[in-house]
Amino acid sequence: MPPGSKFWLVGMAILIRGIAYTQGPSEYQMKAAFLYNFAKFVEWPAISGKQASPIALCVLGKDPFDGELARAVEGKNVDGRPFTTRRISEAGAAQSCQVLFVSASEAGRAAEIMKKIAGFSVLTVGDTDQLWENGVMITFLMDRQRVRFRINQGAAERASLKISSKLLSLAQTDNR
């Protein structure tokens, strides 16, 4: 195990268990932190000229983060790549995102959204079963007041994304 791995695993375990204190982080503060960490543990295919470009975290539909997503990634980078956050209103615009959070407001359009980004290496994340059933790669689950997640590794592989075994070990997995 590389140096620092134990600390990472302990930190992620704390995030996954959630903080149930009355003054602790809100649900979407926690989810924003998870989105940042997901980006750290996913490998996208090499695309010429894209290696130095920012990692785009996009929100499709009604934004439940209330600025928390931008705060979670402010000043951070992965492999020298800074983050940008964007709200988008059309699924076609998601093709230029590396991480796409599909809001619950878009659950009724889930199949259409997934068709529009099929063939693009976009990590899709949502928090409804309807999104999960239509192929979103990572779905948040609430367990009492704790944020957890499940990963559809098969969907990630079809998008040419490699999810770290460290992240997979902390999730519920499904290979649909």
Q: Compute the distance between CA of residue 64 and CA of residue 94 in angstroms, rounded to an integer.
A: 18
Supply the pLDDT for residue 144. 82
The two tokens of residue 71 are 């705060």
Q: Are 142 and 129 in contact (CB under 8 A)?
A: no
As beta bridge partners, residue 116 has none
Domain boundaries, the chain: 5-174
Res. 6: pLDDT tops 90: no
For residues 123-140, average pLDDT: 93
Supply the pLDDT for residue 21. 43
For residues 80-104, average pLDDT: 94
For residues 35-52, average pLDDT: 81
* Three-state DSSP state, 35: helix
Q: Kindly report the CA angle at 45 between 134 and 56, in degrees rounded to 5?
A: 70
Q: Where are the alpha helices (DSSP H) in the chain?
A: 5-17, 27-40, 68-73, 110-117, 129-133, 153-158, 165-168
Query: For residue 20, what pLDDT band results from cuts at 50, 70 and 90?
Result: very low
Supply the pLDDT for residue 173. 64
H/E stretch holding 126 reads: strand 123-126
Q: Compute the distance between CA of residue 73 and CA of residue 40 in angstroms, rounded to an integer.
A: 11
Query: For residue 18, what pLDDT band results from cuts at 50, 70 and 90?
Result: very low
Res. 126: pLDDT tops 80: yes
Query: For residue 11, what pLDDT band results from cuts at 50, 70 and 90?
Result: low
Per cent of the chain over pLDDT 90 is: 69
Structure confidence by residue, pLDDT tens digits, 55-90: 999 999 999 999 999 999 999 999 899 999 999 999
pTM to 2 decimals? 0.83
Supply the pLDDT for residue 142. 86
Q: Are 103 and 66 in contact (CB under 8 A)?
A: no
CATH (residue range 5-174): 3.40.50.2300
Instruction: Mention every residue, 6+ apart, whose C-beta is less than 8 A from residue 125.
Output: 35, 38, 99, 100, 101, 102, 136, 137, 138, 139, 140
Query: For residue 101, what pLDDT band results from cuts at 50, 70 and 90?
Result: very high
Q: What is the DSSP letter of 98?
A: S
For residues 23-50, average pLDDT: 86
